[in-house]
Structure formats: C-alpha cells, structure tokens
Structure 1
C-alpha cells in the first residue's frame, strides 16, 4: 500500500511537471487555429492565420535572415568548437592552457547584454581596421559565433574525454598519421556530439534577441527581433501560427536526430555481438 502511494505521488508530480512545461505550448498551438483576431478569445476553427503569415513578406524575410545566420553560426561554431575541444583534451599542457579554457567557456556565464555590448564596441573600434561592419548580418554572425562556440566546445570536449585513446594509438601504430586518425577514427566516433553541438548552436542563434538587437541593422532584422517588436504592439494570431510551425519543425528535427542516433547505437551493438561471436 505504501509503495502504491509513493508510485501514485511520483506520477502525480511527474504529470504536473509535464503539464507546466507543455500545456502552454499546446494551448498556443490550439489558438493558432483560432478564427478570431483576438489571440486569446476562441471563436471557431480556421487556418486563415497561416495564410496571413505566409503573405507577410517582412516576417518571411526576417525568418530567412535568421535561418541563414543560424546555419552559418552553427557550422562555424562546430569547426571552432572541435578545434578548441582537441586543444583542451588532446594537447599536452602548455603555458596559458587554463586561461585558454577559461576564455572559451566565459560566454557560458557572461550575461548576453555584456556580450552584445562588448561585441558592438569592438566592431565600432576595430571594424574599420579589419574592414568589418559594426551592424548587419556579418556583425550578428560574429556575435552569435562568439556566444555559441563555448556551448559546442563543452559538448565536444566531454565526448572527447570519454573516447578511448587506445583506438587512436592503435591506428597510429598501424601507420596512420594524426590527420588520418582524426578523420577515420575520431570524427566518426564523436559524430553524435558534433550533431548535438550543431543543433544546440543553431537553436541558440535562432532564438537570440538580446545580442542581435545590439548589432542588427535596418536590413538585417532577425525573426526573434521581428516577433518581439510585433508582440509589443499587441499579440497577433500570426505569432501563434509562426510558433506552431517552429515547434513542428523542431519536433521533426528532434525525432530524426533521435532515430539516427538510435540506428547508430543499434549498429554498434550488432557489430559488437558479431565481434564477440567471431572471437568465440
């Protein structure tokens, strides 16, 4: 009886937790099909706000800018984060290694307002010397890479620390150089971490408002800035439709990522069983 009571309490707390997290999202998606112009008053089922959303050229242009910035930010962050992770986990201690790690991970604990302001001041002061604009798509890209590279480095570094170095050493004993070992041994093993870091950087860039507001120009308005400015003037049902589409895309991407990782794990287990059978 006591165990049944504890189990019921556990499921109750779990249900309240999931309801707190996902019930607002579900309500938002339901109201995206609301016919009324008032976003919080239900007056009937309709998909007209999705049509209004796709006819809003400014919103679509902002979405395209955000997707481009997020894609290149995630790609650059993965490359730089992989290099930083290799330096922190594979290279021997060198003078300044602790400082290097601290500087790489500093954006994790730095307020975004400080990051945005510091990058704006840097671009204003050094931009003319480096031929970099102080505002615009390039400025947002630099700011977002600075923000996301630390997150990607942490994800990839943790995977590299768990990697069995004997695999790399065995490949080098067989005559492979370090570059070949990285591309044929290390990279395939840490591929799930690279995908996770890429998706994390993409999401952080696509979601950022604070940093982008410091360095965005008139022709480089991102989707979060556009949504934030629209909400300040009144909540439109088009925002509900936009949020529902983004939730659907993220859900599909998460399912695809989970399926790929699940298939890779099953393949590893199958290869391990075949190896054990061959040895037996």
Structure 2
C-alpha cells in the first residue's frame, strides 16, 4: 500500500494515465463509429474505389509502426498541425480503424440478406434498416472492435513517440522515459491499476454482449 500511496502523490504519472485513458476512449469510439460505417458500406454497396478501400485497410494493419509514425509525422508537419492531443488522436484513429472495420465486416458476413430484403419489401427506410436490423446484429463486432482499439491505443508507444507533443503526455511514453533510469515501484503499482481497469472494461463488454444475446 505504501507504493500506491506514493503513486497518488505522483501527479505527473497520474496525469499521464488519465491522458492515456482519455485518448484511448476517444480514439476507440471514433474508430468504432467510422469503422462500422465503413464495414457496412463495403458489405452492402458497390462503388468505385471499393477494392482499393478494402485493400488499404489491410495495408495499414500490416505496416510497421515506425513507418506509420514517420509518415504521420511528415503529414502533420506539412499540414502545419501542432503536435499534441489532436495529432495523437488522429494517429490512433488511423491505426485502430482497420481493426474495427475488419471485425465488424466479419460479423456482417453472417448477416442474413433475407432480413434486409424483407424489411425493404415492407417499406422500411434505409435508416430503419440500419438501426433495427444491421446495427443490432453487428453490435457484438462493434464492441469487440472498440475493445481492441482501446487496448491498442492504450498500449501504443512507437507511433505515439513520433506524433506526441510537449503539451500532452501519455502513460506509455512516460513509463518509457522513467524505466531508462530504473523501474520505480510506483510504476509497477500504476501498471497493476491499469491492468485492473482494462480487465474491468473486458468484463463489462462481455456482460453487454451476454445481455444482448
């Protein structure tokens, strides 16, 4: 308990942890929304560039983190964006988005097309089909994609190292800078707390999926 008390006194470490949780939740939510819409578009519609869009998802997933980090840094410099929360958020959404899209797309593969056709025959609008048929059936994939994105964002070091700024410090980079001088006990205490938080998110997601079934 002594090290947990020291952890509470370490304001810089706690601020970095809260920043990481905020960034992970925001980027996972944005990636879940955009990725779900992208998966539905790839599954239901035929449009120009569909093959390129689908292939680009896998390219991003297979790209080395250091390559993506340097590429995003060059992009932000060319755009004139100051490095900080905004660049971290955009970067995390970028590398989380393909995982959500692929997860939801796999869920939609088992969607019975007869349900959509029956709804259209009964006069249902596109919004009603989406909200009452497609989204409820895809929700397990959406939640799984959100959880995966949250974990990836919370754990990322390499990409964040390139696109972070001095005004917004996150936990992985804070720990990385601290362990070079030796691992302090309060770092271990914080890791235990973060593990419990992540585990709680997993249980909540599992409970939500179980309730929907």
TM-score (norm 2): 0.96
Question: Of residues 66, 74, 78 in structure 2, which corresponds to 1:125?
Answer: 78
**Displaced runs of 4+ in structure 1, greater than 3 A?**
none
The corresponding residue for 2:52 is 99
Alpha-carbon distance in 2 for matches of 1:137, 1:263 = 35
CA contact (8 A) 2:147 2:202 kept: no
Alpha-carbon distance in 2 for matches of 1:261, 1:145 = 24
Alpha-carbon distance in 2 for matches of 1:190, 1:143 = 25
Alpha-carbon distance in 1 for matches of 2:3, 2:206 = 31
Q: How big is the shift at 1:105?
A: 2.4
Tell me, yes or no, if structure 1 residue 177 matches structure 2 residue 125. Answer: yes
Question: Of residues 34, 37, 42 in structure 2, which corresponds to 1:80?
Answer: 34
Q: Deviations over 1:25-56 (max 9, x none)?
A: xxxxxxxxxxxxxxxxxxxxxx1101111111
CA contact (8 A) 2:8 2:14 kept: yes
Point out where structure 2 has 5 or more consecutive residues left out of the alignment: none
The corresponding residue for 1:226 is 174
Alpha-carbon distance in 1 for matches of 2:23, 2:195 = 19
Alpha-carbon distance in 1 for matches of 2:15, 2:194 = 15
CA contact (8 A) 1:104 1:150 kept: yes
Point out where structure 1 has 5 or more consecutive residues left out of the alignment: 1-46, 266-280
Q: CA RMSD in A?
A: 1.2
Question: Of residues 54, 58, 65 in structure 1, which corresponds to 2:12?
Answer: 58
**Higher-Rg member (1/2):** 1
Question: Of residues 76, 82, 90 in structure 2, which corresponds to 1:142?
Answer: 90
1:163 partner SS:
coil
Q: Deviations over 1:53-95 (max 9, x none)?
A: 1111101111121111111101110111012101211112x33
